[in-house]
Amino acid sequence: MVRTLKDWPVIADQIERRPLMASAEEFAKEYGNLRTGRPVVLTGVPLPPSYTERLSDEGLRRTLGDVMLPVMVAAEGQFATGTGPWDPKKFRIVEMTLSEYFDRLQGKRPDPILAEGERCYIYQCPPNKLGTLLEDLPLSHLIPAEANVVNRYTWMGEGTITVAHYDTEENFLLQLRGKKRVLLFSPADHDNLYFNRNGTVHDRHTRVDFTKVDDEQFPNFRKARAYETVLEPGEMLYIPICWLHHIETPTFGISVNTWWMTPELLKIHYAFDTLCGEIDKGVRPEVQRMCLQVMQDRIFNPVNP
């Protein structure tokens, strides 16, 4: 039997929400600890007052209309990342101007790139490609001073689904415009979500299609417990390392995420890379599996909140 996500009793609870915390130390103590971290939505993140106009369709066309940006195109509207090679009939990253992107989003272009009904997503766009658009958006003060900021990206889209996956860094996802629905799954549910192992195509992604779940092929999916939230402007979600996240954009939205690692986590990453570089490829998948467990101590004795 094939069922949609809404047919499954997987929504265990809403993600905890609380006002923005005052210090990185307070955040680390309550949520950001490597061993016992848990997600939280932090509300009241201050945004520049000019963002309402600056991030409107008109404001974006005026300031960035002719700028070339990286756009991922998904034939079926579901976006996946991870290791390639990707199926070129399903996914493609192209460069286009922001004006062309809006025209495609609004159905004004009769020439699909992959297929009718495709979706386009301004995907992992470095802020420096956006000129001065976000130059006055500081890094969160909740990132520890000693942490290494790995990457910071901008995301713009509507009607997109990002397939559930986990990252190997800590993550802050800040909403700037529109809404974004997020489902999080604890590392305790990794085995119930049938994700691709490291080093395989679309690694770290679930093989379950949440829009049409096959309970014969994925019988344990019904055991998974999702934690849900809908982000609005000025709200920031903390996604702990190794928590799987499924993301939907029901309205046109703009968000910025920051991946970062504490010194403790960075050491584990170095150890992982060293092991995988020195050990024969024949046993590498098993080494990767073991390193993933070491990388996130929460997985040894995983618990749902």
**Over the stretch 34-71, which tens digit does the pLDDT of each residue have?**
667 889 999 999 999 999 999 999 999 999 999 999 99
- Contact by Cβ (8 Å): 157, 124: no
Q: Provide the residue ranges of all domains of the chain, joining segments of one domain with +.
A: 2-261
In CATH terms, 2-261 corresponds, of 3.30.70.20, 3.40.1710.10, 3.20.20.70, 2.60.120.10, to: 2.60.120.10
Residue 211 per-residue DSSP state: T
The pLDDT value recorded for residue 281 is 45
Helix and strand numbers (H, E) in the chain are 6, 17
pLDDT of 289 strictly over 60:
no
pLDDT of 79 strictly over 70:
yes
Q: Cα–Cα distance between 97 and 63 in angstroms, integer?
A: 12
- Contact by Cβ (8 Å): 102, 59: no
Q: Is the entire prediction scored with pTM above 0.85?
A: yes
**Over the stretch 106-122, which tens digit does the pLDDT of each residue have?**
989 889 999 998 999 99
Instruction: For the chain, list the strands marked E by DSSP.
Output: 2-3, 11-14, 17-19, 40-43, 68-74, 78-79, 91-97, 119-125, 148-157, 161-165, 170-177, 180-185, 213-214, 226-231, 236-239, 244-248, 253-261
- Contact by Cβ (8 Å): 31, 38: yes
pLDDT of 160 strictly over 70:
yes
pLDDT of 13 strictly over 90:
no
> Positive or negative, the Cα torsion across 63, 65, 69, 73?
positive
